[in-house]
C-alpha cells in the first residue's frame, strides 16, 4: 500500500506563508501603535503574541510530508519538512519482518507514529514519524496496513510476499 500527502504541500506552504505575513503585519502594527497612535494600551502586545503563538503551533506539529510504501518485501517511510531550511528529513527502509509493533499517539494538535522494529545490535528500536497532516482516512489506512504486517510477524515469525 502506498500513502503520501505530497498533494497537500501547496496548501501547507500557503498556510506557512500566510502565518509569517500575519506575524510581520502584527509587528508593523505594533510599532505604529507603540510609537505613533498609542490607542490600545496593554492590548498592543496581542498583535504580536497571537500570530507568534499560532506560528509556534504550526512548527510544533512537526514534519509535514509523510510517504509510506509497503509494497514488496520492504517497508519504506519518508518524513520531511516542506520548508528547505529544515532539512532534517528522515528516510527509512527496512524489511517487513523486522516490524514488531506500532503505536499512534493522537494528541490535540499532533499525531505521531511510533514504529518498533527488531535490530541485531539491540532488541528493538523505536522509530518516530510525524503524521499530523494526514487525514483520518489516511491514518486508518496506515493502521490497517501496519496491523496486517505486525499480525503476520507475530503469528508466523516472518512476513513474506506470498502472505498478501
Residue 162: give the domain boundaries. Answer: 1-164
Report the run of H or E that residue 14 belongs to, with start and end: helix 9-32
* The model's pTM: 0.79
Bin 29: left if φ > 0, else alpha if -120 < ψ < 50, else beta.
alpha
Segment 115-147, tens digit of pLDDT: 999 888 878 899 999 998 888 999 999 999 999
110: domain CATH number is 2.30.29
Closest CA to 101 of 127, 78, 122, 135: 127
Q: Are 42 and 25 in contact (CB under 8 A)?
A: no
| 38-90 confidence digits (pLDDT tens) | 777 778 888 889 999 999 988 888 888 899 999 889 999 999 888 777 667 78
Contact assessment for residue 122 and residue 116, using Cβ atoms and an 8 Å cutoff: no
Which DSSP symbol is given to 40? S
Alpha-carbon Rg of the chain, whole angstroms? Answer: 21
Number of domains in the chain: 1
Q: Is 104 left (phi over 0), alpha (psi -120 to 50) or beta?
A: beta
Q: Which three cell numbers stand for residue 84?
A: 528547505
Amino acid at each position: 500500500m502506498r500513502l503520501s500527502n505530497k498533494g497537500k504541500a501547496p496548501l501547507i506552504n500557503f498556510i506557512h506563508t500566510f502565518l509569517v505575513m500575519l506575524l510581520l503585519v502584527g509587528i508593523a502594527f505594533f510599532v505604529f501603535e507603540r510609537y505613533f497612535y498609542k490607542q490600545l494600551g496593554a492590548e498592543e502586545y496581542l498583535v504580536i503574541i497571537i500570530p507568534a503563538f499560532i506560528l509556534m503551533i504550526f512548527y510544533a506539529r512537526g514534519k509535514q510530508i509523510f510517504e509510506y510504501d509497503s509494497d514488496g518485501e520492504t517497508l519504506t517511510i519518508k518524513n520531511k519538512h516542506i520548508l528547505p531550511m529544515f532539512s532534517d528529513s528522515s528516510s527509512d527502509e527496512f524489511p517487513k519482518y523486522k516490524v514488531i509493533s506500532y503505536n499512534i499517539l493522537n494528541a490535540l494538535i499532533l499525531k505521531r507514529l511510533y514504529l518498533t522494529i527488531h535490530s541485531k545490535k539491540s532488541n528493538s528500536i523505536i522509530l518516530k514519524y510525524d503524521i499530523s497532516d494526514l487525514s483520518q482516512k489516511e491514518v486508518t489506512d496506515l493502521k490497517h496496513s501496519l496491523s496486517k504486517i505486525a499480525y503476520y510477524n507475530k503469528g508466523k515469525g516472518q512476513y513474506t510476499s506470498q502472505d498478501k
